[in-house]
Amino acid sequence: MTVLLENLGKRFGAGAPVLEGVSASIAQGEFVALLGASGCGKSTLLNIIAGLERPTSGALEVPADGAAFMFQDAALYPWLTARGNIELALKLRGVGKAERRARATELLDLVHLGEAGDKRPHELSGGMRQRVALARALSQDRQVLLMDEPFAALDAITRDLLHEELTRIWRETGRTIIFVTHNVREAIRLGQRVLLLSSRPGRVVAEWAVPEETKNDAAAVAALTGDVTARLREEIARHAK
Amino acid sequence: MPSNSTLERDTVSTQAPGHAQPQSSDAELRTLEAGLDHLQSETSRRRRDWTRALLPIAAVVVLVLAWQLYVSLGLKRRDLVPGPFDVLASLAELWAEGKVQESVWTSLQRGLLGFAVSVVVATPLGLLLGQVRTLRRAFGPLISGLQVLPSVAWVPAAIIWFGLTDATVYFVVLMGAIPSIVNGLVSGIDQVPPQYRSVAKVLGASRAELALQVILPASLPGYVAGLKQGWAFSWRSLMAAEIIAVGGTMGFGLGSLLDQGRTLSDMGVVMSAILIILFVGILIELAVFGPIERRLLARRGLLSGSTG
């Protein structure tokens, strides 16, 4: 197991718990989609896995070197070029100068941005910025990649292409990906497994496997989408009282 | 993932026509992305804009003409309100005596040296205040307060401490420039988007790396604005100090020239000194800070749509 969560709980101060009894195990090389409505504590959960926050109860097991992180906002540094952003990440990891240059070229090529390396973030489109952010996250060379709604702010065409792109990169690099989303279709399209988180407190309440055959079968995808959506709505309706 | 899964996907996509998602080959995906990137990227280029140079010159010409017009109406005595040509004449005289060159050189040297020392002192101070909460809480109000205090107020104290020496001038310049540079840097740091810090943290930056590689460049626009203001304060404080502290071992600066004009009741000299002081200030702004600031903002995509 690459990531193991056991009865994880988190509360801030004396408030209501944000996460309670979250248990999950994620295998090496697996692509897991975490699905949940607002207030499911998904960002907190990712922060805990990344080691940015500590859980208040329970235990977790993550690779010793931590995890790479990609945010909803590309958050590229505007004073650096696309290449410069990736090279800075490598530099902070302690990679030598010559190797930084070579690695950055490789990573830019991996996200199909070989030509745009010398552009600054404001000259790039939203989709290109997210690809640079992805390359920057991959430059950390960590087994686990955490993604917090990375495509939520993109238009549908771009998002569609980036789904393919991410799947391809996942296959090529063999990373373990934990992908948080609000979007049922996105979760099913990308994840090998979809975990549904409840809201306030967040807890894993349902789980679906999405085998490759299902992904390639339109009818099966539609049926699964219906299932997951129904369960998600049930979870949201619980909060109407 | 093993590479054979890619093969698997390819065979599936060719055999099953009713699959759910479009599956493209790597080359297709590359082409699609390149097309979309091209469609979504901006291609506009800034071209050379002559109005940037011509409009300010036109504005000055208009003001000088209005000045000349007022003087030729003859409402005031000529020795009290000299016209542009009278001032030009006394400026030429001062130039011939070598006083312009001497005073500009003395003042500029003092101003630049004082400013340089202020930058060296204020930058680490600003970084510390911007990054360490306790220090910020303790010293922040004091440094903001110092900016409100006109640095001329330090002149009497400086004269008592250092006498009529260059030390007096430098002390006043430092007291004027340091607070505004610190404040500029601190407000620049306050405006750094929080994601920049989270990203740096996730990328494994140490505290020092965070400060130097992320926070300092991120706050550069605020820092440069602070430097610009710091220079303005240095220059102003310098003039104030030079006007008040005259004699002793002090050299002959622009402030001294202004004071000399006042003592001699020579309005031509006074106006000349004022114009030179203004001219040097504008020159530094146009030749140094303007280009740096514009370049900095344009590189970050912050200038489009502004009047700058």
Nearest residue in chain B measured CA to CA from A156: B36
Domain boundary among A101, A118, A141: A141
Tally of domains within chain B: 1
Domain count, chain A: 2
Please state the length of chain B: 308
Do A222 and A197 fall into the same domain? Answer: yes
Note down pLDDT in tens along chain B; length 308 residues: 444 444 444 433 333 344 445 566 777 888 888 888 777 776 555 566 778 778 888 999 999 999 999 988 888 887 788 888 889 999 999 999 988 899 999 999 999 999 999 999 999 999 888 888 888 888 888 888 888 888 888 889 998 999 888 888 899 999 989 999 999 999 888 888 888 888 888 888 888 888 888 988 999 888 999 999 999 989 988 998 888 887 767 778 888 899 989 999 888 899 999 999 999 988 998 888 888 888 888 888 877 666 65
User: Which domain range does residue B129 map to?
Assistant: 77-299
**Same domain for A132 and A154?**
no
Distance from CA of B29 to the nearest CA of A (A): 8
Q: Is residue B47 part of a domain?
A: no
Q: Are B203 and A73 in contact (CB < 8 Å)? A: no
CB-neighbour burial class of residue B2 (10 A; exposed 0-12, middle 13-18, buried 19+): exposed
Residue A45 placed within a domain: yes
Q: For residue B5, which residues of chain A lie inside 8 Å, CB to CB?
A: 171, 212
- Which residues does chain B have within 8 Å of residue A116's beta carbon, measured at their own beta carbons? 37
Residue B167 lies in a domain: yes
Domain that holds residue A22: 3-66+143-240
Q: Which residue of B has its CA nearest to A110?
A: B30
Let me know whether A46 and A155 are in one domain: yes
Q: What separation, in Å, do the N-terminal and C-terminal C-alpha atoms of chain A show? A: 39
State the distance between the two ends of chain B, measured CA to CA, in whole angstroms. Answer: 52
Is B29 close to A161, i.e. CB distance below 8 A? yes
Residues of A in contact with B21 (CB under 8 A): 163-164, 189, 215-216, 221
3-state secondary structure of B191: coil
Same structural domain, A132 and A49: no
Length of chain A: 241
Q: So what's the ipTM on this one?
A: 0.79
Of A93, A119, A141, the one marking the end of a domain is A141
- The pLDDT tens digits for A126-150 are 888 888 998 898 888 888 899 988 8
Percentage of chain A modeled with pLDDT above 90: 9
Q: Inter-chain contact A164–B24, Cβ cutoff 8 Å?
A: yes
Same domain, A127 and A108: yes
Confidence at residue B9, expressed as pLDDT on a 0 to 100 scale: 42
Answer yes or no: are the C-beta atoms of A27 and A2 closer than 8 Å.
yes
Domain's final residue, options A94, A120, A141: A141
Please state, in angstroms and as integers, the Cα–Cα distance from residue A130 to each residue in A85, A124, A206, following that order. 12, 10, 30
Place of tokens 């200030």: B281
Q: Which of A73, A116, A120 is opposite residue B299, by nearest beta carbon?
A: A120
Contacts of A88 in chain B (CB under 8 A): 203, 213
For residue B276, tell me if it sits in a domain.
yes
Sort out which chain A residues have CB atoms less than 8 A from B23's CB and list them.
164
Average pLDDT over residues A226-240: 84
Pair B245, B181: CB distance under 8 Å: no
CATH number reported for the structural domain that contains residue B255 in this entry: 1.10.3720.10
Residue B21 lies in a domain: no
